[in-house]
Structure 1
Amino acid sequence: MNTPATRLYHLALSPYCRKVRLVLGEKKIEVELVEERFWEAGSEIARRNPAGRVPVLRHEGRLMAESQAIVEYLDETVPNPPLMPTTALERYEVRRLCAWFDDKFNAEVTRPVMTERVWKKVMKTGYPDSREIKSGLKAIKDHMDYLASLLEGRKWLAGNQLTLADFTAAAHLSCLDYISDVDWDRSGVLRDWYATIKSRPCFRAVLADQVPGIPPAPHYAVLDF
């Protein structure tokens, strides 16, 4: 699908923006990326999304917000390759895991760690709180163990098909991996899953991200770690 007019207002280390970018890439939809520094004076984010959040996708003349709504819309309107299963029960499992990452994992791990290690520096809002970082890094261990238990009996997180659940999980983990806060030695099966999805062509643009003043971990863009 050739849609050069598609534009994504995003932030490089936002897991929600990355989820949309990965699905756009997997669907081979051409997109123009526009960084939206919504905390700066003059930002028009409220005009594009009254909720004041990224990502915002401009597609076929419409402005679309909320990452899960966007990726499900993309999967329905650009059906190949399909990223949702065919049965209601399987789709339930995909949505459950997407919500797990976007709600629980984000609240316990992504948001506290990224806020303290990255966003306070980028937004110039103060110094890191080590207690928040320690809490996030403690919580990620239980999450990784849970994901590893799923992968013991499945090829992908929600079953034997690559789905939106995998891209949602990879979006969050890749942000943390940028700053080297994922202990991949904790689970070989989870490490193999991430290496597989990280090697997909849709990941190339994400692995090329650079945040000024915050360089990526040395292994970040290495496909085999």
Structure 2
Amino acid sequence: MNRLFHVPLSPYSRKVRLVLAEKKIEVELVEERYWEQDPDFLRRNPAGKVPVLKYGSHTLSDSMAICEYIEEVHPTPPLMPTDALGRYEVRRLVAWFDDKFQHEVTSKLLYERVNKKVMGLGYPDSTNIKAGAKAVKYHLDYMAWLLEQRRWLAGDAMTLADFAAAAHLSCLDYISDVDWNRSETVKDWYAKIKSRPAFRSILADQISGFMPPPHYADLDF
């Protein structure tokens, strides 16, 4: 059995989970408290980060590297375009969400509201929360601008870029930090993507001490 060492509210873990589920690859989910620096986990990934995928005889780390590997060995259904420019745009947007969005939004909201408590690192920093709440509006507006020109974030087909964005937004939606009324275009996009069978296990996540809002698992919001 393939195993994914993950954290339920890690957008990087969720991105990999979405790719595996979309391609109908069965995997056992193993929750990993990576911040405890367990020696067994560090042997799997010396970087000490999730996700880590045990795939057959291979141990794979880094979410983007895992996703591209899975795409190469399981090309159907495709999550990367066939043309070089299209693949560039997907990688650009994945980096946008995994780097810029993570730094400006996810790390300011999810880390402060959830991770600090789970890891025993103290109380939320209100300055960071205010900065994250302000920044997420800019990112939602950018997504709306993209989606006004395209059916999906990177083009006319759903790609890994959509999963990267949805992974971050789903984590924030779990803690009610997304204003879905800001853009009907983005809201419609998210409704489409969270209605996919690949999203089911993510919508079923329950984190001890944190309850999601009623709309979190509602496919019609």
Normalising TM by the smaller chain, what interval?
over 0.9
TM-score, with structure 1 as normaliser = 0.97
Q: What are the equivalent positions in structure 2 for 1:22-171 lying under 5 Å apart?
A: 22-40=18-36, 42=38, 44-171=40-167
The question of whether the paired residues in 2 share the 8 Å contact of 1:38 and 1:44 is answered with: no
- The CA distance in 1 between the partners of 2:78 and 2:38, in whole Å, is 39
Contact 2:37 2:48 in 1 (8 A): no
Q: CA RMSD in A?
A: 0.8
Q: Distance in 2 between matches of 1:92 and 1:42?
A: 36
Deviation per CA, 1:103-146, whole angstroms, max 9, x where unpaired?
00000000111111000111111011111011001000001000
Q: Secondary structure at the match of 1:44?
A: helix
Structure-2-length-normalised TM-score: 0.98
Question: In structure 2, what is the equivalent of residue 186 of structure 1?
Answer: 182
Q: Distance in 2 between matches of 1:162 and 1:130?
A: 36
2 CA distance for matches of 1:42 and 1:63?
A: 16
Q: Is the 8 A contact 1:37 1:43 kept in 2?
A: no
Quote the Cα distance in structure 2 between the aligned partners of 1:126 and 1:20. 29
For 2:36 and 2:62, the matched residues in 1 are separated by 21
Secondary structure of the residue that 2:145 maps to in structure 1?
helix
Matched AA of 1:201: P
In 1: Cα distance, 2:175 partner to 2:120 partner:
18
Task: Give the share of equivalent positions with the same residue, in percent.
Answer: 67
Q: Which amino acid aligns with 1:66?
A: D
Alpha-carbon distance in structure 1 between the residues aligned to 2:194 and 2:83:
27
Q: What is the CA–CA distance in structure 2 between the aligned matches of 1:177 and 1:61, rounded to whole Å? A: 35
**Which ranges of structure 2 fall in alignment gaps of 5 or more residues?**
none
Compared CA separation, residues 43 and 213, structure 1 to 2 (3 A): farther
Structure 2 letter corresponding to 1:125: L
The answer to whether the 8 Å contact 1:36/1:43 transfers is no
Distance 1:162 1:89 in 2: 15
Q: Deviations over 1:142-194 (max 9, x none)?
A: 01000100000100000001100000000000000000100000000000000
The amino acid that maps onto 1:12 is P
Find the aligned partners of 1:41 and 1:186 in 2 and give their Cα distance: 40
Match of residue 3 from structure 2: 7
Letter in 2 for 1:216: P
- DSSP-derived class of the 1:140 partner: helix
What is the distance in 1 between the residues matched to 2:40 and 2:112? 25
Deviation at 1:217, TM superposition (A): 1.4
User: For this pair of structures, how many residues does the alignment match?
Assistant: 221
1: CA distance between counterparts of 2:41 and 2:164?
23
Post-superposition offset of 1:43:
5.3
Q: Match for 1:62: what amino acid? A: H
